[in-house]
Amino acid sequence: MNTDKSGKTSAKGPLRRELLAARALLTKEDALRAAAVLADAALRLPELADARTVAAYVSVGREPGTRALLEALRGRGVRVLLPVLLTDNDLDWAAYEGPAHLLPAGRGLLEPDGPRLGPDAVLAADAVLLPGLAVDGAGMRLGRGGGSYDRVLARLTAAGAHPSLLVLLYENEVVARVPSEPHDHPVDAVVTPAGARRFADPL
């Protein structure tokens, strides 16, 4: 039986395991090649081209790579915010100042070494790059199940903030259906090595 963070039975567990197993088969070279293509495709999105502040994250392991994208955004003069995981699984934020300013943190993550800006710093973002394992044709995103980004999305909603919500994935991670729950929130666009797709676009 699979349970979510609240202890309820969840249909998401088997899909998460399947997708994580597929990622584990990727070589480091596969991941690096995909990261370069993803960065190029993402940078062509108007949502990022016009953004002054982007909330993002540092990819680790075989996650679809964000590091080339982070550097490209910083090179454009975009203010990039990166998450800092708090003990209650909520997220604080700090500015990205380059790869030399990333420090190892818990759960294998990398976090910025600069001043903490508070959980509400994300409210200033024009676009938010969300980590994910899959997305479906309605834009519903499958996360890892920790709930950190559910809090971020709830905070944005409560404040009336409407940044563009984006997710980077491998092509096989765009699936027919992601099991969803009432608190789940669709993203606006997905970027894969094959290109970008907005969920307002027709199938």
pLDDT by residue (tens digit) across 164-178? 999 999 999 999 999
> Which domains are present in the chain?
12-198 (3.40.50.10420)
What percent of the chain clears pLDDT 70, i.e. is strictly above it?
93
Give the mean model confidence (pLDDT) for residues 135-161: 93
Q: In what order do the strands lie in the sheet with 174-175?
A: 141-142, 134-136, 174-175
Where do runs of H (alpha helix) occur along 50-173?
Answer: 67-75, 148-158
pLDDT score of 203 more than 60: no
Q: Give whole-number Cα distances, 69 to 54, 97, 129, in Å.
A: 11, 13, 11
3-state SS class at 45: coil
The pLDDT assigned to 179 comes to: 87
Give the mean model confidence (pLDDT) for residues 14-40: 94
Which residues are CB-contacts of 39 (< 8 A; sequence separation ≥ 6)? Answer: 65, 68, 69, 72
- H or E segment and range at residue 30: helix 28-43
- H or E segment and range at residue 47: helix 46-49
Q: In this structure, are residues 5 and 147 in contact, taking their beta carbons and an 8 Å threshold?
A: yes
Closest CA to 70 of 87, 55, 92, 83: 55
Cα distance between residue 140 and residue 153, in whole Å: 13
Give the mean model confidence (pLDDT) for residues 15-31: 94
- 3: confidence class by pLDDT, cuts 50, 70, 90: very low
Cα distance between residue 83 and residue 14, in whole Å: 27
> What letter would DSSP give residue 141?
E
What does the pLDDT look like over 39-87, one tens digit per residue? Answer: 999 999 999 999 999 999 999 999 999 999 999 999 999 999 999 999 9
